């Protein structure tokens, strides 16, 4: 924890450090690779040459200096760093190396402005940041290791199959060499790969490009001009060869839900953005839902544990369970429905009469869109029965005749009158139950 004097020094010197941060990070990496060549394999040298990694480091330091007084916001901002570190299996003993070389780079760039007190303050700030990252990464390592099919560190996978997707893109199906299960990954995540190329370790990240199946992972790799790792995959690896994988990571994921999904700019760009994996897995399929439900039905595991294991929101799992109990496996299949006004009225009547929640009513009537019943209820309260009628698409034709007035009660059939009476009674019961 920084002292009050150190806090004041950081506040005073932060603008100066920020002004020279690009120069500091540009000096930091060569200095670290010179002093500790063994860590060079953790960094993509192409990103060193184009300045991507120094800019990323500078941005992370600046963000932490600005946000460290609000710990929760700082943690969220560091998610990108944590994901990269998890995919590289970064360990606590590597942080002192970074700290030493970063402070040396600051000293070289800023010169005499870095007094002993300034150096101590920025060292304390770095140690605070390092401690937070170590804590967050340990939580992530342990959580993944505890999941079904999870592991810690590296795990050997065998290339079970390959497929040439295009002239420059090749997909690899990777199955665990130990024959065990494979932990589910979230849509949009990438996975760390550790290779041994010409006797040297090489680390890379590749987007996962298939839905989770509990048996394997798939990566689709673009051959990059002069790319060491991509060339190795394309030219030297084939079915039967093995690679080492690290846990899946990445925060650019799709939020769970059953609502309609709008796809925008979903052209895949292999090696840059994991959008292909996100949109490929935009909906959970029937087999995935069934695996989750089967886990929930075990007596030795809670719904919360299953949610963490499969990366699914607990409320989504509860909806799947309710639908499964009411309709079986058929309730897990995709369903495209247009509901009539009569059906909507029946749902509302049953919900009000029996005091059901919207989730219970949705499960009972196999309504997949969770927000539909609430929308129907609002429509009824704002416009009555006619508001439940499906709306025609496009422009409504001009009516040549004025609307017919409703029939007086004495001219309506007994069945119509009884239906309206039952509906009004259900509505009245609902209104009474909602009164304080």
Residue 207, classed as helix, strand or coil, is strand
Contacts with 194 (C-beta within 8 Å, 6 or more apart), sequence order: 89, 154, 201, 202, 203, 243, 244, 245, 246
- Per the annotation, the verdict on 196 as an active-site residue is no
Residue at token pair 């199906």: 173
CA 248 to chain centre: 11
Residue-level length of the chain? 436
The structure tokens listed for 138 are: 């340990």
Residue among 196, 225, 219, 246 at smallest CA distance from 85: 246
Cβ-in-10-Å burial (0-12, 13-18, 19+) of 32 comes to buried
CB of 366 closer than 8 Å to CB of 359: no
Contacts with 246 (C-beta within 8 Å, 6 or more apart), sequence order: 86, 87, 88, 89, 153, 154, 155, 191, 192, 193, 194
CB of 277 closer than 8 Å to CB of 219: no
Contacts with 425 (C-beta within 8 Å, 6 or more apart), sequence order: none
The structure tokens listed for 351 are: 């919900």
- Per the annotation, the verdict on 95 as an active-site residue is yes
Distance CA 58, CA 21 (A): 6
Catalytic residue among 137, 258, 349, 377: 137
CB of 110 closer than 8 Å to CB of 215: no
Distance CA 115, CA 7 (A): 15
Distance CA 273, CA 291 (A): 29
Distance CA 143, CA 139 (A): 6
Contacts with 53 (C-beta within 8 Å, 6 or more apart), sequence order: 29, 43, 44, 47
Contacts with 389 (C-beta within 8 Å, 6 or more apart), sequence order: 341
Distance CA 386, CA 415 (A): 19
Catalytic residue among 29, 64, 95, 310: 95
User: Catalytic residue numbers?
Assistant: 95, 137
């Amino acid at each position: 924890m920084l002292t009050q004097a150190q806090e004041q020094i950081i506040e005073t010197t932060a603008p100066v450090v920020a002004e020279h941060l690009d120069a500091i990070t540009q000096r930091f990496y060569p200095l670290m690779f010179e002093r500790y060549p063994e860590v060079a394999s953790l960094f993509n040298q192409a990103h060193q040459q184009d300045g991507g990694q120094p800019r990323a480091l500078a941005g992370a330091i600046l963000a932490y200096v600005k946000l460290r007084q609000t710990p929760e916001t700082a943690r969220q901002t560091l998610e990108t760093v944590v994901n990269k570190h998890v995919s590289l299996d970064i360990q606590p003993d590597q942080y002192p190396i970074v700290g030493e070389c970063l402070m040396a780079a600051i000293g070289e760039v800023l010169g005499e402005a870095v007094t002993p007190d300034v150096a101590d303050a920025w060292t304390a700030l770095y140690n605070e940041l390092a401690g937070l990252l170590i804590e967050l990464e340990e939580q992530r390592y342990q959580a993944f290791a505890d999941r079904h099919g999870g592991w810690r560190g590296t795990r050997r996978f065998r290339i079970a199959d390959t497929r040439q997707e295009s002239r420059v893109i090749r997909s690899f199906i990777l199955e665990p060499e130990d024959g065990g299960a494979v932990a589910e990954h979230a849509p949009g995540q990438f996975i760390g790969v550790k290779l041994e190329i010409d006797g040297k370790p090489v680390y890379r990240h590749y987007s996962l490009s298939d839905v989770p199946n509990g048996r394997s992972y798939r990566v689709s790799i673009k051959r990059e001009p002069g790319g060491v790792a991509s060339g190795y995959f394309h030219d030297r690896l084939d079915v039967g060869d093995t690679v080492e994988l690290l846990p899946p990571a990445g925060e650019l994921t799709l939020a769970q839900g059953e609502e309609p999904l709008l796809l925008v700019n979903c052209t895949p760009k292999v090696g840059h953005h994991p959008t292909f994996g996100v949109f490929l897995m935009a909906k959970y399929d029937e087999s995935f839902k069934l695996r989750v439900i089967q886990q929930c039905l075990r007596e030795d595991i809670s719904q919360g544990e299953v949610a963490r294991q499969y990366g699914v929101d607990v409320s989504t799992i509860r909806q799947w369970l309710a639908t499964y109990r009411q309709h079986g496996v058929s309730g897990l299949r995709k369903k495209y429905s247009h509901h009539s006004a009569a059906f909507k009225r029946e749902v509302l009547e049953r919900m009000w009469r029996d005091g059901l929640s919207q989730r219970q009513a949705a499960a009972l009537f196999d309504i997949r869109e969770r927000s539909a019943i609430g929308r129907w209820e609002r429509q009824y309260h704002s416009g009555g029965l006619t508001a439940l009628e499906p709306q025609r698409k496009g422009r409504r034709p001009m009516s040549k005749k004025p609307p017919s007035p409703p029939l007086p009660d004495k001219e309506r059939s007994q069945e119509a009158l009884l239906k309206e009476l039952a509906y009004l009674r259900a509505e009245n019961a609902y209104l009474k139950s909602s009164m304080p």
